[in-house]
Amino acid sequence: MAQSREQRGERETAAAEKKVKKTGKPAGGARGGITAPVTPSPELAEIVGSKDLPRSEVVSKVWDYIKKNNLQDAKDRRQINADDKLGKIFGKKSASMFEMNKFLAKHLTAKKG
């Protein structure tokens, strides 16, 4: 039987806590790539907030905003019709869901260090 994401997360957290107790060192964890914290531009911060977030969380919050404001095209759900806030990020009135990450990348800066 397949395990849920929550079950897997709980199991991995328990294993990490056990390792920390055993070794006395903090858990390393992956903090690169999609999990590394990024800082949103002021335009993007209007949608996702100004806190540093992992890239995956930024994309998730943008999708939540798109769905909440019904910005997916009715005929072609792969197209996103930008409102004023998304228009600042996309630089045009409509973009495909595949282009979205390209536009988001221009509004995210990675932390140095």
- pLDDT tens digits, 62-72: 999 999 999 99
- pLDDT tens digits, 45-59: 999 999 999 998 999
This prediction's pTM = 0.69
* Residue 84's pLDDT band (cuts 50, 70, 90): very high
Q: How far is CA 22 from the centre of its chain?
A: 33
DSSP 18-73: HHHHHH-S------SGGGSEEEE-HHHHHHH-SS-EEHHHHHHHHHHHHHHTT-B-
Does the pLDDT of residue 75 top 70, yes or no?
Answer: yes
Q: Is 8 exposed, middle or buried (0-12, 13-18, 19+ CB in 10 A)?
A: exposed
Q: How far is CA 96 from the centre of its chain?
A: 17
The residue-averaged pLDDT of 32-45 equals 86
- Write the class of the CATH domain 31-110: mainly alpha
* Residue 3's pLDDT band (cuts 50, 70, 90): confident
User: Would you kindly state where each structural domain of the chain is located, as residue ranges?
Assistant: 1-30, 31-110
Does the pLDDT of residue 113 top 90, yes or no?
Answer: no
